[in-house]
């Protein structure tokens, strides 16, 4: 018989948690015993509220910690909103121990036709948002003085560039450099900084890309077929890896990119 956890393992904040990988990560961390702050754009507030209710219902099962949740909607590409998001999470849940900078977009573009506006949008949403989350989460964790975990979303396209979108690949390569540099700076504060690199994963974002262009769908299927496992990943597969990186057991792992679902090209 399982023994219920009497207290929280800490507070985790997950950006882009209204759907897909972010949603699965939030649920998994709550199952692990964390209180969870849920972030996405304000237009997705209803989905965040539904997720918060689902997490709390799940915690009512026998042997589970009853997690606290709060919704901290906001645009993580904007500095003032990231600061407010973290301040609100700390005010409502008491601390910040795990930051998962998961929010991002996937846009297919061609180097010959991509515009500066395309480049800036992708880099801002994917890379600038991660920088802001890393920065302000680290400031809060240093202030608390008890270490922490910072985890960012890269991609297999950040390990082996994809011709499907040069700006997207560049934004995900940026996460790798940011993660390594932050790990070097923050290690003596007891803060580990790592990133995860999903391959093709069954998410609403992936479904939208596959539906909009038959050629892109074929390319994605080729990647899946060439992968080490030969099948598409599920959000819960990514969440299990993040769960480990957020755990106490991962205290000696920092500055790393965790590959998932690699292909022959990686």
- 193-235 pLDDT, tens digit each: 999 988 766 666 666 666 666 666 666 666 666 666 766 678 8
- Catalytic, 159? Answer no
Annotated active-site residue 172? The verdict is yes
The secondary element (H helix, E strand) that includes residue 111 is: none
Which residue would you say has higher pLDDT here, 110 or 221? 110
pLDDT on residue 255: 97
Torsions phi, psi for 234 (to 5 deg): -110, 155
Give the total residue count for the chain.
266
Q: Which of these, 132, 141, 171, 136, lies nearest to 153 by C-alpha position? A: 171
- pLDDT surpasses 60 at 62: no
Residue 151, phi then psi, degrees to nearest 5: -135, 130
Q: Residue 2: its pLDDT value, please? A: 44
Q: Is the pLDDT of residue 4 over 70?
A: no
Q: Which of 65, 172, 231, 256 is catalytic?
A: 172
User: Which of 238, 134, 244 lies closest to 191 in space, CA to CA?
Assistant: 134
Choice between 191 and 114, residue whose per-residue pLDDT is larger: 191
Residue 188, exposed/middle/buried by CB under 10 A (0-12, 13-18, 19+)?
exposed
pTM beyond 0.85, yes or no: yes
In tens, the pLDDT along 119-135 reads 999 999 999 999 999 99
Domains plus CATH for the chain?
11-201+236-259 (3.40.50.720)
pLDDT at 97: 98
Task: Give the pLDDT confidence of 141-191 residue by residue, as tens digits.
Answer: 999 999 999 999 998 877 877 777 889 899 999 999 999 999 999 999 999
The number of C-alpha atoms within 13 Å of 56 and in the hemisphere containing its C-beta is: 12
Closest CA to 153 of 10, 17, 9: 17
Per-residue pLDDT tens digits for 236-258: 989 999 999 999 999 999 999 98
pLDDT at 110: 85
In angstroms, the CA 257 to CA 204 distance is 24
Catalytic site residue from 9, 168, 215, 231:
168
Q: Give the helix/strand (H/E) hosting 195.
A: strand 191-197
Phi/psi-derived region of residue 260, left when phi > 0, alpha when psi is between -120 and 50, beta in every other case: beta
> 53 burial class (0-12, 13-18, 19+ CB within 10 angstroms)?
exposed
Which alpha helices (H) appear in the chain, and where do they start and end? 20-32, 45-58, 79-93, 116-123, 129-144, 166-186, 204-212, 214-226, 235-245
Q: Given a cut of 50, is residue 266 above it in pLDDT?
A: no
- Return the pLDDT at 35: 97
């Amino acid at each position: 018989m399982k023994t219920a956890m009497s207290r929280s393992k800490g507070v985790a904040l997950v950006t882009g948690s209204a759907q897909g990988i972010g949603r699965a990560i939030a649920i998994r961390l709550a199952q692990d015993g964390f209180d969870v702050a849920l972030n996405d754009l304000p237009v997705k507030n209803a989905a965040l509220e539904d997720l918060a209710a689902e997490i709390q219902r799940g915690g009512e099962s026998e042997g589970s910690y009853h997690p606290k949740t709060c919704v901290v909607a906001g645009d993580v590409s904007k500095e003032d909103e990231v600061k407010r998001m973290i301040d609100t999470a700390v005010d409502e849940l008491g601390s910040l121990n795990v930051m998962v900078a998961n929010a991002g977009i996937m846009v297919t573009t061609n180097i010959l036709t991509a515009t500066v506006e395309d480049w800036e949008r992708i880099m801002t949403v994917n890379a600038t948002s991660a920088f802001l989350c890393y920065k302000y989460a680290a400031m809060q964790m240093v202030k608390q003085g008890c270490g922490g975990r910072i985890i960012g979303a890269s991609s297999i396209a950040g390990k082996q560039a994809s011709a499907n979108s040069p700006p997207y690949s560049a934004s995900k390569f940026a996460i790798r450099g940011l993660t390594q540099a932050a790990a070097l700076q923050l290690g003596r504060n007891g803060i580990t900084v790592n990133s995860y690199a999903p391959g093709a994963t069954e998410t609403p974002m992936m479904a939208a890309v596959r539906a909009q262009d038959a050629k892109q769908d074929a390319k994605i299927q080729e990647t899946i077929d060439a992968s080490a496992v030969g099948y598409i990943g599920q959000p819960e597969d990514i969440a299990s890896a993040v769960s480990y990186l957020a755990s106490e057991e991962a205290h000696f792992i920092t500055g790393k990119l965790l590959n998932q679902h690699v292909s022959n090209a990686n």
